[in-house]
Amino acid sequence: MSEKEKYTKLSALGEFGLIEHLTQGITHKNSSTLKGVGDDAAVLDYREKKMLVSTDMLIQGIHFDLSYTPLKHLGYKAVAVNVSDICAMNGIPKQITVSLALSNHFSVEGVEELYAGIYAACEQYGVDLVGGDTTSSVSGMCISVTVIGEAEGPEITCRNTARPNQLICVTGDLGAAYMGLQLLEREKSVFAGRSDAVQPDFSGYEYILERQLKPAARLDVVRLLREKKIVPASMIDISDGLASELMHICRQSGVGCNIYEEKIPIDYQTYKMAEELNMNATVCALSGGEDYELLFTAPLELFEELSVLEHISVIGHTCKASEGCYMTTRDGNTFELKAQGWANFKAPETAEK
């Protein structure tokens, strides 16, 4: 390449643009590959059931900060966020593999703590640890988890199968994990470089801290929906913020949406922390990320049944793509939704925390 030719920076494409760029010409060679890149998990056809496979990496300094993240919690989170991908496909997780890259700064006891969290999550979600790899790193830690799940063919739910005039539903509450992160970052900056630093008092904020440090995959909701014989029309987990994930469903399904601010479930501690930091709790729910709740669409006739189920909120409806993607505020105004959640490969000057 000559000096006049320029390389394209990763920030020009972003994470999802890079994935699309690298995989746009991909073709499947095996009939057992039903669905590949582009959803929360790949779908493989083996015997009676369909297999679901997903992989995620957590990188020190990018996805976690060991100055305030206990290794046991980190191990648990590494498993939970992968299990969440299987839940997002309406599947049941069965096995995981764990690969680690470690620098020589870590001790055997530290890695034991990490694995204590991994084993605790395996027990919680009923999955088996069946393999992995360990190697050295020149800087910090990298954790890569692959999860394998299963589902009957008709049960599998993808992102691109929403249709106009469907309910938009979310599980749990939103914005808490982001507020937990903001609290931890604030305390880190307060105590940075202080020799007299003491343990900060987090009383009254236990919930938002747990949502950041030890998130829960909503396998309970997947089981509840199966019990009620409800199969979502489309689904995704909320790792990058409600707005970003809803835009994924809309773009891949070719629909629009309208959600209502007053219907978005937000916990009291999230409101309280947002007020302390002079932030808008709704914006945090829309763009914060790492909640790992489920976002799904369902037929309108299921409104009464879904609206009374615990841990599920109906927050809006889909519409024709030509009608756009909007949120109606509490005072009756509307504004266009933008995907402003976490984005990998952002240019340094515009990168978010």
With helix as H, strand as E and coil as C, how does 6-51 read?
CCCCHHHCHHHHHHHHHHCCCCCCCCCEEECECECCEEEEECCEEE
Which of 127-131, 252-256, 338-342 is the most confident on average? 252-256
> What is the pLDDT averaged over residues 244-255?
96
161 pLDDT above the threshold of 50: yes
221 pLDDT above the threshold of 60: yes
Torsional sign, CA 337, 289, 311, 78 = positive
| Confidence at 134, pLDDT banded by 50, 70, 90 | confident
Torsional sign, CA 171, 173, 174, 176 = negative
Q: What is the pLDDT of residue 106?
A: 84
CA distance 91 to 41: 10
Strands 325-328 and 255-260: parallel
Closest CA to 337 of 271, 287, 290, 295: 287
> What is the pLDDT averaged over residues 147-171?
94
Which of 8-12, 92-96, 224-228 is the most confident on average? 224-228
C-alpha 215, offset from chain centre: 10
279 pLDDT above the threshold of 70: yes
Maximum Cα–Cα distance across the chain = 64
Q: What three-state secondary structure class fits 52?
A: strand
- Paired tokens of 140: 């910090």
116 pLDDT above the threshold of 50: yes
Across the beta sheet with 49-59, what order do the strands follow? Answer: 33-35, 42-46, 49-59, 142-151, 92-102, 128-136
Q: What is the pLDDT of residue 46?
A: 67
12 pLDDT above the threshold of 90: no
Q: What pLDDT digit, counting tens, does each position of 43-95 carry?
A: 777 667 788 889 999 999 999 999 999 999 999 999 999 999 999 999 999 88
Q: What is the pLDDT of residue 201?
A: 75
Is residue 218 within 8 Å of residue 87, measured between CB atoms? yes
Output 15 or 159, whichever has higher pLDDT. 159
pTM for the model: 0.84
Q: What is the pLDDT of residue 130?
A: 81
Q: What is the mean pLDDT of the chain?
A: 87
% of the chain exceeding 90 in pLDDT: 64
Tell me the domains of the chain and their CATH numbers. Answer: 31-155 (3.30.1330.10), 166-189+201-350 (3.90.650.10)
Closest CA to 220 of 151, 311, 157: 311
